[in-house]
Amino acid sequence: MIARDIPFTHAPEDADGEAQPSAGLGPYRLALRRLRRNHVALGFAGLFLLILICCLCAPLYASAIAHTGPNAEHLTQTINVGGRTVDVVSLQGIPIGPTWHSRFLLGADSNGEDVAVRLLYGGRTSIIIGGTATLITMVLGVAAGVVAGYFRGMVDGILSRVLDLIWSYPVVLLGVALGTVLALTGLHIGPVVLKGTSLMVPACIIGFVFIPYVAKPIRGQVLSLREKEFVDAARSLAAGHLRVMVSEILPNLSSTIVVFVPLMIANAILLEAGLSFVGAGVQPPNPSWGNMISDGLQYISTTPGLVLAPAIMLVLAVLGINVFGEGVRDALDPRAQIRIEH
Amino acid sequence: MGRFIVRRLFSMLVVLFLLSVLTFLIFQVIPNGNPALRLAGRTATPQTIAAISRTWGFDQPIWTQYLITMHKIFTGSVISYNQQLNVFSQIKAGLPATLSLAIGAGIIWLFFGVLLGLLSALRAGKFVDRVLAILALGGISTPSFVIGAVLLYLLAYRTNVFPNTGYVSITDPLGWFYHLLLPWITLAILFIGLYSRVLRSNILDTINDDYVRTAKAKGLSRRRVIVRHVLRNSLIPVVSLFGLDFAGVLGGGTILVETVFNLNGVGQYAQQSIAALDVPPVLVITMLGGFAVVIFAALVDIVYAVLDPRIRLAS
């Protein structure tokens, strides 16, 4: 009877010989083991990695296979498809559909640009922005959450009010507002000057918009962590505030941070696509899945591929990382409730 | 009770004030360069820039600028620079479409979110639950404008089941419904995915609580236990989510769907202004959108406190 109440410590005595997690395994080992058993999550992670690698190879595809750049227009040119000579964009203004050949594999858009090349470059844009934005969100969100939760009082009051303020804008609207303003003037942070068309402008905007969604749950966790004995112990050994925050509290937040990262990447990519779709994200001529869909929408009745190709890539990439993220969350902390708005 | 409402309304006013300051800062102060240049948009002549500088008071101290901006917004005298139209009358013209879209979608997502959440909780771990989990993740991972574009292509262009795009006034109820059905579904899918997952985990959390066991033990039917005891408590967080999400949709979340379906609402007005880099309408819509969320959040809290004394006591 006692053995059933505390099964883990008595695992070696189990008669059926089933592999039980022994007491010596750390939480990350256990999580990794659970994740490795989750084949669906791993499969979708593979899908995302595949898209990632393809998109990072965009310049290679453009120069070696398609022989054109993402912004090179071929409006008046003709190409040879299966022995016939065809206009890239017909006289009626209808662009060529998928040729399934090395040039214009997925057809051309209304400017006579190669859709396949733009698709890969657009993915590169999305992933660069998603990654940078996630980095910004995580660093600033965790810093704000830890400082607010650790110091409490005035510091917490001010930080929490500011975070609440950012949080009370609808995400898309705040992104749109910042995107519109910064697309006109660019961004000047101290010595760093970003032009309005720079990819880092939407990355900074998206990174900024999501900060409260990370900082709030982190703050809540720090509020309870700072009362734990190990923090008292560190203080009694004369550890300063910075040391307690960085080497005592931060390691205890690692599983929350790990759970947040894939979720944030997925949401950053989605928001980037949405902002680019309305014209407040990636500025032309840079391709992005969002502005490709927006450009293709007016041709949807004649050449639906212009919308469907970037739409499919976008959904697959986001779905891949979302399912993987869900697997990571289940593996690390099945009861965590983290939710991010769109 | 009265004290709670007064306190909540007061804090709402403070947040509204701060929100207006932040919006003002975003549009007029934070970016470098001449703000008049920005308000004037891409095709500005020196004359318009000088005129804008004067009417918005950019030559005056910053708090005067803030007061001038607020005065312009609340007296409804903001003029867009590209079209020379009054921003408020444009917003008013777009409001029926935006409201119709948000309210209809809200009803759909609440109904199906609760239905599917309940279904997957009652069948937790079974086949139905897994299929619903995959569908929910798909819904969460697909941006609304992609769903809209695909639905439009399949059901309006390929098969002509639904009308092209556009908004029909509610004075023609049938046409109104017919034109809005696809946009409603498009907007609702994301939230159905989210709500069904949230409700599922809430139900699974409460289903083992003591009071549920008590209800079972006193011989209530399964249906009665689920509906009267489990669902009623599990719905509380969903209802508060709904209040905030609905406000978010109303205050800017419809931009993408309105643009795809060409509904000519407030969201599409914002999108057209962004495309033309016409800043005044974006400034006004951002501020009003933020206001909508803050006011709704306060209303939700108050309604909650009336319904559930525990929340009142906790704060």
Beta-bridged to residue A114, according to DSSP, are: A108
**H/E run at residue A80:** strand A78-81
pLDDT in tens, B13-67: 988 998 888 888 887 765 555 666 666 666 667 777 777 777 777 777 778 888 8
Both tokens assigned to A315: 């959904």
- Position B188 scores a pLDDT of 93
ipTM of the complex: 0.83
Is residue A9 situated within a structural domain? no
Question: How far is the C-alpha of B99 from the C-alpha of A33, rounded, in Å?
Answer: 49
Amino acid occupying residue B264: N
Q: Would you state the torsion angle of the CA atoms of residues B249, B255, B257, B259, taken in this order, to the nearest 10 degrees?
A: 160
Determine which helix (DSSP H) or strand (DSSP E) holds B180, and give its type and residue range: helix B173-206
Q: What angle do CA B194, B200, B205 make, to 5 degrees?
A: 130
Shortest Cα–Cα distance, A11 to chain B (Å) = 27
Verify whether the Cβ–Cβ distance B279 to A319 is below 8 Å: no
Task: Report chain A's C-alpha Rg in angstroms.
Answer: 25
pLDDT at A72 over 80: no
Residue A182 inside a domain? The answer is yes
Residue reference for tokens 């997690």: A21
The answer to whether the Cβ–Cβ distance between B289 and A280 falls below 8 Å is no
- Reduced DSSP (H G I as helix, E B as strand, rest coil) percent helix, strand, coil of chain A, to 5: 65, 5, 30
CA A49/CA A54 separation, integer angstroms? 9
Does B137 contact A at CB distance below 8 Å? yes
Q: CB B18 to CB A266 under 8 A?
A: no
Among residues B271, B242, B243, which one has the least CA distance to residue B97? B271
- Tokens representing residue B266 in the block: 């407030």
Distances, alpha carbon B85 to alpha carbons B262, B269, B285, in Å: 20, 12, 15
Q: Domain of A254?
A: 122-287
Cα B171 to Cα B190: distance, rounded to the nearest angstrom = 29
Six-digit token string for A308: 């469907």
Spatial CB neighbours of A286, under 8 Å, sequence gap ≥ 6: A121, A125, A197, A199
CB B194 within 8 Å of CB A340 = no
Query: CB A279 to CB B275 under 8 A?
Result: yes
Q: Inspect the interface and report whether the beta carbons of B145 and A277 lie closer than 8 Å.
A: yes
Q: How far apart are CA B107 and CA B113, in angstroms?
A: 10
pLDDT of residue B90: 87
Which among B31, B146, B283 has the least Cβ separation from residue A311? B146
- Residues A215/A144, Cβ–Cβ less than 8 Å: yes
Those residues whose C-beta lies under 8 Å from the C-beta of residue B89, and which sit 6 or more positions away, are none
CATH number of the domain encompassing residue A164:
1.10.3720.10
Are residues B105 and B184 in contact, defined by beta-carbon separation less than 8 angstroms?
yes
pLDDT tens digits, residue range A298-332? 888 778 888 888 999 999 999 999 889 888 888 87
Q: Is B161 on the interface with A (CB under 8 A)?
A: no
Q: Which chain A residue's Cα is nearest to B249?
A: A170
Break chain B into its structural domains and give their ranges: 89-279
| Interchain contact, B289 vs A301, CB within 8 Å | no
Q: Within a domain: residue A114?
A: no
Q: What is the pTM of this model?
A: 0.84
Identify whether A223 is part of a domain. yes
Using CA atoms, how far apart are residues A253 and A134, in angstroms rounded to an integer? 17
State the CATH class of domain B89-279: mainly alpha
* pLDDT of residue A142 exceeding 90: yes
Q: Do A165 and B252 touch (CB under 8 A)?
A: no
| DSSP secondary structure letter of residue A298 | G
Q: Domain count of chain A?
A: 1
Task: Compute the distance between CA of residue B151 and CA of residue B215 in angstroms, rounded to an integer.
Answer: 45
| Positive or negative torsion for Cα A71, A275, B28, B269 | positive
**What's the CA gap between B32 and B97, in Å, rounded?**
36
What would the pLDDT profile of B92-135 be if each residue is shown by its tens digit?
Answer: 888 899 999 999 999 999 999 999 999 998 888 788 888 898 88
Q: Are B4 and B305 in contact (CB under 8 A)?
A: yes
Phi first, then psi, for residue A188 (nearest 5°) are: -120, 105
Residue A99 belongs to a domain: no
Q: Which tens digit of pLDDT belongs to each residue from B260-299? A: 888 888 888 888 888 777 778 888 888 888 888 888 888 8
Q: Locate all alpha helices (DSSP H) within B25-160, ordered by sequence.
A: 35-40, 46-55, 62-74, 87-122, 127-141, 144-151
DSSP-derived 3-state class of residue B42: coil
Q: What is the pLDDT of residues A231-245, one digit of tens each?
A: 999 989 988 899 999
| Residue B116: other Cβ atoms inside 10 A | 21
Cβ neighbours of A266 in B, within 8 Å = 141
The single-letter DSSP state of residue B27 is I
Q: CA of B219: how far to CAs of B122, B205, B260, in Å?
A: 19, 22, 53
Inter-axis angle of helices A171-185 and A254-278, nearest 10: 60
Q: What SS3 class is residue A15?
A: coil
Q: What is the pLDDT of residues A152-208, one digit of tens each?
A: 888 888 888 888 888 888 888 888 888 877 877 777 666 677 777 788 888 999 999
Run of H or E including A79: strand A78-81
B141 touches A: beta carbon within 8 Å: yes
- Based on the number of CB atoms within 10 Å of its own CB, is A227 exposed (0-12), middle (13-18) or buried (19 or more)? exposed
d(CA A108, CA A117): 10
B20 touches chain A (CB under 8 A): no
